Chains A and B, each alone.
Chain A
Amino acid sequence: MPWRLLRFALNKKHPEPRMFTTHDKLKSSYDVVIIGAGGHGLAAAYYLATEHGIKNVCVLEKGYIGGGNTGRNTTIIRSNYLTPEGVKFYDESVNLWQDLSRDFDLNLFYANRGHFTLAHTDSALRTMRWRAEVNKHYGVDSEVVGPEAVKEAAPMIDLSCAGHSPILGALYHAPGSVARHDAVAWGYGRGADQRGVEIHQQTEVLGIDVQGGKVRGVNTSRGYISTNKVLCAVAGSTPRILKMVDLRTPIYIHPLQAMVSEPVKPWLDPILVSGSLHVYISQSARGELVMGASLDPYELHATRSTLDFVEGLTSHMLDMFPFMSNVKVMRQWAGMADMTPDFAPIMGKTPVEGFYLDSGWGTWGFKATPVCGKTMAHTLVNDTPHPLITGFSLDRFSNYALTGEKGAASVGH
């Protein structure tokens, strides 16, 4: 007998707390204003409160918590990147993920599945050897395996891919995982809320008050707030905010689409990615096949989804798994990906004093949610970039010192 439920139903005052506190009014000033209640913004708020004792913080969200790319991604978590900066950074994130469900007292459905990046050409295999060596050097579990290992892990696969793109091998990354994306935003949000951070949904930032090169406040759809520190964590809306502070960056927006099938019996344990076929796939705990492809081909600041995408993706998917031809597509959607030329993020300080960026997360930033929150909180408090993010600073472009991550991030996310 569910006593707790019965007691709750009979109690007129509904003592069970809501997930988040609602605040009627904005205060006139905060120590830190965070724009965007996606995973990144909420994680930064959480670590500001838990690790630095800074609680006079508000998170402003124009829509609802997790309604941006946090709630639209295909939840792949991995650390087998190509650059030393990337590998160290994502590895720290994978470490942080391990304890999150316990820290939040909320089940994130973190599922360790193993991750295969398939190679269909010699040049792809060469990049994978390179990645495996860099990964191992930094202690990340990563190795090149033959086609038989792929077949063993995913017996339903056609290793010849309909005869035109035979699988020559794969980069195997045992720590590769998936997690419930909404829950990550809720966990960080609730944790921050419980410690006094204010989360204001339906509150849009309309302008940023910069005087003499310094942040003084923020104009919102619900009035003015004064503050000396603003963290911009708005993914696909980053260029709109940058316009408010007159900053030029390489960030450009293309939609990234994804789709899920109807639920079917569990048959696919690992996560599979094919850069050549522009396909990645995993099976969710509910049995749905979660699938995605590469970026849409042109700039767009909208989240419409297209038939072209479904047709292109399914035809390549059937090359890999012909038996799926009878499985129905259930939902499709898009998010706005904030892309950078070198496929590495743009994080840290900017030429505007008090304006901090956590951006350029493109198609690969979900896995980085915990480490972004942690390193951005550190950067805001100390006004100097956390050692793990120095390779991601905005001035790397004017210094011609890019952090080339394309070989590991383009379709793999």
Chain B
Amino acid sequence: MKIMTCPLNGPRPVSEFFYWGEVRPMPNPDTCTDAEWADYVFNRNGAPGVKREWWCHTPSNTWFIAERDTEKDVVLKTYFYQGEA
């Protein structure tokens, strides 16, 4: 079974977690164009690589960031969201 480390609860089976996709900056809906908004809503960086992603440990409802290699299926780091630097 695959193990994911929750920053609050420690290592847990991945089936306890919910994946919510890559961390992506949202354009300002008041000022961006329709094309920019469509790009944000629909388009994804679908290529493999190391990605920063939103995950949630569902039993404790803990949201956090995981850095994961989507080709090797290896979780490199997990930590709480600190805001965008």
By a beta-carbon cutoff of 8 Å, the part of chain A in contact with chain B is: 238-240, 242-243, 248-253, 297-302, 304, 306-308, 338, 341, 397-400
A-B interface contact total, Cβ < 8 Å: 61
Jot down 13 A-B pairs with beta carbons below 8 A, ordered by A. Answer: A239-B47, A248-B43, A250-B44, A251-B44, A253-B48, A302-B73, A307-B1, A308-B2, A308-B15, A398-B34, A398-B35, A398-B38, A398-B42
Q: Which B residues lie within 8 Å of A338 (CB)? A: 46
Judge whether B44 and A252 touch: CB under 8 Å.
yes
Provide the residues of chain B in CB contact with A399, threshold 8 Å: 38
| Whole-angstrom CA separation of A253 from B1 in the bound complex | 21
Known: A308-B15, A398-B35, A398-B38. A302 touches B46 (CB 8 A): no
Interface residues of B in 1-39 (CB under 8 A from A): 1-2, 14-15, 18-19, 21, 34-35, 38-39
Give me the interface of B with A, judged by CB distance under 8 Å.
1-2, 14-15, 18-19, 21, 34-35, 38-39, 42-48, 51, 53, 70-73
**B19 lies within 8 A of A299 (CB):** yes
Chain B contacts for A240, CB-based, 8 A: 47-48
Further pairs besides A298-B19, A299-B53, A397-B43: 20, Cβ < 8 Å: A238-B46, A239-B45, A239-B46, A239-B47, A240-B48, A242-B46, A243-B47, A249-B44, A250-B42, A252-B44, A297-B18, A299-B21, A301-B71, A307-B1, A308-B15, A338-B46, A398-B34, A398-B38, A398-B39, A400-B34
Whether the Cβ atoms of A400 and B47 lie closer than 8 Å is no
In the complex, the chain B residue whose C-beta lies closest to that of A341 is: B42
Q: Chain A interface secondary structure, helix, strand, loop or mixed?
A: loop
Nearest chain B residue, comparing its CB with the CB of A304: B73
CB distance from B34 to the nearest CB of A (A): 8
Whether A248 contacts B39 in the complex (CB less than 8 A), given A299-B70, A300-B70, comes out as: yes
Assess A301 versus B39: contact at CB under 8 Å? Given A306-B2, A308-B1. no
The distance in angstroms between the C-alpha atoms of A242 and B19, with both chains bound, is: 24
A300→B73 CA distance, assembly (Å): 7
Chain A, residue nearest B4 (CB): A298
On chain B, the residues within 8 Å of A249 by CB distance are 43-44, 46
Q: Which B residues touch A251, using CB under 8 A?
A: 44, 46
- B72 pairs with A302, CB closer than 8 A: yes
* A336 CB to nearest chain B CB (Å): 10
Enumerate chain A residues within 8 angstroms of B72, measured Cβ to Cβ.
Answer: 302
- How many angstroms between the C-alpha atoms of A308 and B4 in the bound complex? 15
Lowest 6 CB-CB distances: which A-B pairs, in order? A239-B46, A298-B19, A301-B48, A397-B42, A250-B42, A239-B47
In the assembled complex, the Cα of A398 lies from the Cα of B36 at a distance in Å of 9
B39 CB, nearest partner CB in chain A, Å? 7
- A301 and B70 contact, CB distance less than 8 A: yes
**Minimum Cβ distance to chain A for residue B84 (Å):** 21
* B38: contacting residue among A253, A301, A308, A400, CB under 8 A: A400
B46 contacts A253, CB within 8 Å? yes
Closest to A312 in B: B15
Residue among A243, A297, A299 with the highest chain B CB neighbour number at 10 A: A299
Q: Is the CB of B71 within 8 A of A397?
A: no
